[in-house]
């Protein structure tokens, strides 16, 4: 444990630090040492205590024991980032251990004090860069009616990857293919890429699946007077309207074979003729396409042109379904709540514990769009200042019962003996995990993984000490 003697803090070391370790004395000692450096440090002896700590609400860095049980490190990191997006997360790892994917930096324990301070500074730099890159994706986005900006947000690692790739590709002319289930925010991401691209033209969106082929061709390329019945004058198409800007083609998998040929030519040469016309038009358009279907499977089935697929699959960004980033649900829910409350002119400040549990327990097959609509409904129909569980749609309440994750009878039967062996070893070891792990012939990390898989939380199992 670092010595408590005060020294001068290293440059760039944060001012408010939350220290989380299931060894309460170690957490307190480290926090005391940091306070001796002139920092404002808080200690928490478990992930549950960290969630309640006032230090989580506004901190510059968080030191987390990487071996917290039940994936507690990840849960603490996500909670801290939700409350303090620019906080640097430092994982305290065993000697020779690797930095977990939820941390910005790591330091070995035990280790020199200077290395721990350096890890805090490095984590702060990484967090600041991450937030800066994310913010570069959000200027000039379409406002919601409630006044807040409509942007893709999230602190889950999958969303970090999405926003990182989008931020790097935005200033380039590369064609982008956005894939993912319906309701994951593909259109919203396309708008953010355009906003960060520096292109001065318009953002133009076309839902390819909503138009029959003759209408889609006219919609995209325009037409001249007399091209077909009802074409009384010349009309510019979406490609020309998006000249100098971005054209977003949603539901591209629905394009007919003939339309795919025309699109391939335009994407390769940026030239086209209006329907019924002979004059070739040339444009400078950045094209972003989206689909919720597996295009490679469609290519294999002969329903989508292989040459068009390889032409549009320059940069592929996959939007993760909400069930894969469930830790972002509270963040998104709060955002939708405030926007809906503003539109409704109501003072709705948050959710009851039961409502939050229902939100995090539902699998959200409709993804972010379903979550948004569920919360809007709750705000419009609710009566109190907090959204109650009863205000949410019945399907959300039903989904929170087991979330579709109940174990099979076979898995449960196989897990039972292992559970009893582990509990027996822990009890005989006085709930010392290092001793229990040696008794079982495994290392402490393996024991933690087994505890997590079996749903065992030592904070609940260990008898209270008098």
Q: Give me the pLDDT at residue 190, please.
A: 94
Q: Which two tokens stand for residue 55?
A: 């230090």
Tell whether the model's pLDDT for residue 143 goes beyond 90: no
| Axis-axis angle for helices 367-381, 329-344 (nearest 10) | 40
Q: Using one digit for the tens of pLDDT, what is the confidence trace for 147-174? A: 334 678 887 888 888 888 998 899 999 9
Helix H, strand E, coil C: the string for the chain is CCCCCCCCCCCCCCCEEEEECCCHHHHHHHHHHHHHCCCEEEEECCHHHHHHCHHHCCCCEEEEECCCCCCHHHHHHHHHHHHCCCCEEEEEECCCCCCCCCCCEEEECCCCHHHHHHHHHHHHHHHHHHHHHHHHCCCCCCECCCCCECCCCCCCHHHHHHHHHHHHHCCCCCCEEEECCCCCCHHHHHHHHHHCCCCCCCEEEEEHHHCCHHHHHHHHHCECCCCCCCCCCCECCHHHHCCCCEEEEECHHHCCHHHHHHHHHHHHHCEECCECCCCCEECCCEEEEEECCCHHHHHHCCCCCHHHHHHHCCEEEECCCHHHHHHHHHHHHHHHHHHHHHHHCCCCCEECHHHHHHHHHCCCCCHHHHHHHHHHHHHHHCCCCEECHHHCCHHHHHHCCCCCCCCCHHHHHHHHHHHHHHHHHHHHCCCCHHHHHHHHCCCHHHHHHHHHHCCCCHHHHCCCCC
Range with lowest mean pLDDT among 263-277, 313-327, 399-413: 399-413
In CATH terms, the fold of domain 323-399 is Helicase, Ruva Protein; domain 3 (1.10.8)
**159/409 Cα distance (integer angstroms):** 34
Q: How confident is the model at residue 316 (pLDDT cuts 50, 70, 90)?
A: very high
**73-131 pLDDT, tens per residue?**
888 888 888 777 778 899 998 887 888 888 888 888 777 777 888 888 888 888 877 66
Residue 320, pLDDT > 70, answer: yes
Query: Which of residues 342 and 223 earns the better pLDDT score?
Result: 342
Residue 305: its pLDDT value, please?
94
Residue 304 has pLDDT above 80, yes or no: yes
Q: What is the mean pLDDT of residues 12-23?
A: 79
Residue 47 binned pLDDT confidence (cut-offs 50, 70, 90) = confident
Determine the straight-line distance between the first and last CA of the chain, rounded to whole angstroms.
26
Residue 405: the pLDDT is: 43
CATH of 16-133, one of 3.40.50.10680, 1.10.260.40, 3.40.50.2300, 3.40.190.10: 3.40.50.2300
Side-chain-side CA neighbours of 149 within 13 Å: the count stands at 13
**CA atoms of 251 and 152, how far apart (whole Å):** 19
- pLDDT value at position 19? 93
pLDDT for res 177: 96
Judge whether 323-399 and 409-461 match in fold: no
pTM of the model: 0.57
Would you state the pLDDT for residue 134? 59
- Percent of the chain whose predicted confidence (pLDDT) is above 90: 27
Comparing 50-54, 74-78, 450-454, 459-463, the range with the smallest average pLDDT is 459-463
Q: Is the pLDDT assigned to residue 241 strictly greater than 50?
A: yes
Q: Which of 91-95, 185-189, 195-199, 216-220 has the lowest mean pLDDT?
A: 216-220
What confidence score (pLDDT) does residue 461 get?
Answer: 59
Task: Identify the CATH class of 157-318.
Answer: alpha beta
Q: What is the mean pLDDT of residues 54-64?
A: 78
- The answer to which of 27-36, 82-91, 284-293, 309-318 has the lowest mean pLDDT is 82-91
Would you say domain 409-461 falls under CATH 1.10.10? yes
With cut-offs at 50, 70 and 90, classify the pLDDT of residue 410.
very low
> In the structure encoding, which two tokens stand for residue 326, read together?
């469930």
CB atoms within 10 A of CB 403: 14
The rounded mean pLDDT for the chain is 81
Residue 67 has pLDDT above 60, yes or no: yes
Residue spans of the domains in the chain: they are: 16-133, 157-318, 323-399, 409-461
CA dist 66 and 76 (Å) reads: 10
Question: Is the pLDDT assigned to residue 402 strictly greater than 50?
Answer: no
Q: What is the pLDDT of residues 384-396, one digit of tens each?
A: 899 998 899 888 8
Which tops the pLDDT comparison, 446 or 123? 123
Residue 380 has pLDDT above 80, yes or no: yes
């Amino acid at each position: 444990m670092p010595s408590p003697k005060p020294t001068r803090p290293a440059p760039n070391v944060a001012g408010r630090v939350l220290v989380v370790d299931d060894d309460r004395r170690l957490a307190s000692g480290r926090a005391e040492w940091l306070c001796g450096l002139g920092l404002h440090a808080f200690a928490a002896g478990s992930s549950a205590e960290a969630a309640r700590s006032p230090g989580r609400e506004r901190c510059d860095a968080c030191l987390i024991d990487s071996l917290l049980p039940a994936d507690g490190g990840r849960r603490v990191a996500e909670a801290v980032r939700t409350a303090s997006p620019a906080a640097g997360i430092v994982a305290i790892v065993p000697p020779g251990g690797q930095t977990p994917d939820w941390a910005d930096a790591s330091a070995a324990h035990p280790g020199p004090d200077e290395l721990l301070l350096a890890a805090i500074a490095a984590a702060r730099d990484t967090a600041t860069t991450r937030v800066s890159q994310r913010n570069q994706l959000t200027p000039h986005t379409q406002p919601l009616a409630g006044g807040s900006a409509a942007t893709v947000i999230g602190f889950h690692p999958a969303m970090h990857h999405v926003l990182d790739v989008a931020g790097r590709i935005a200033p380039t002319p590369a064609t982008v293919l956005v894939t993912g289930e319906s309701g994951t925010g593909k259109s919203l991401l396309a708008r953010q890429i355009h906003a960060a691209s520096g292109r001065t033209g318009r953002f133009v969106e076309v839902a390819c699946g909503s138009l029959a082929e003759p209408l889609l061709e006219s919609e995209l390329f325009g037409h001249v007077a007399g091209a077909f019945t009802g074409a009384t004058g010349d009309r510019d198409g979406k490609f020309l309207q998006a000249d100098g800007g971005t054209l977003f083609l949603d539901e591209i998998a629905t394009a007919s074979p003939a339309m795919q040929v025309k699109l391939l030519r335009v994407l390769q040469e940026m030239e086209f003729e209006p329907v019924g016309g002979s004059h070739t038009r040339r444009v400078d358009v950045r094209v972003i396409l989206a689909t919720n279907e597996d295009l490679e499977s469609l290519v294999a089935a002969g329903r989508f042109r292989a040459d068009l697929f390889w032409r549009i699959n320059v940069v592929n960004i996959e939007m993760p379904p909400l069930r894969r980033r469930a830790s972002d649900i509270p963040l998104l829910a709060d955002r939708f709540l405030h926007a809906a409350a503003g539109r409704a002119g109501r003072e709705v400040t948050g959710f009851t514990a039961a409502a939050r549990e229902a939100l995090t327990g539902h699998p959200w097959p409709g993804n972010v769009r379903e979550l948004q609509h569920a919360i809007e409904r709750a705000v419009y129909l609710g009566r109190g200042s907090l959204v109650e569980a009863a205000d949410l749609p019945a399907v959300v309440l039903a989904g929170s019962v087991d979330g579709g994750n109940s174990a099979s009878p076979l898995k449960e039967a196989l897990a039972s003996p292992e559970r009893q062996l582990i509990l027996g070893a822990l009890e005989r070891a006085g709930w010392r995990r290092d001793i229990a792990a040696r008794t079982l012939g495994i290392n402490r990390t393996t024991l933690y993984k087994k505890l997590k898989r079996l749903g065992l939380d030592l904070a609940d199992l260990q008898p209270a000490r008098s």
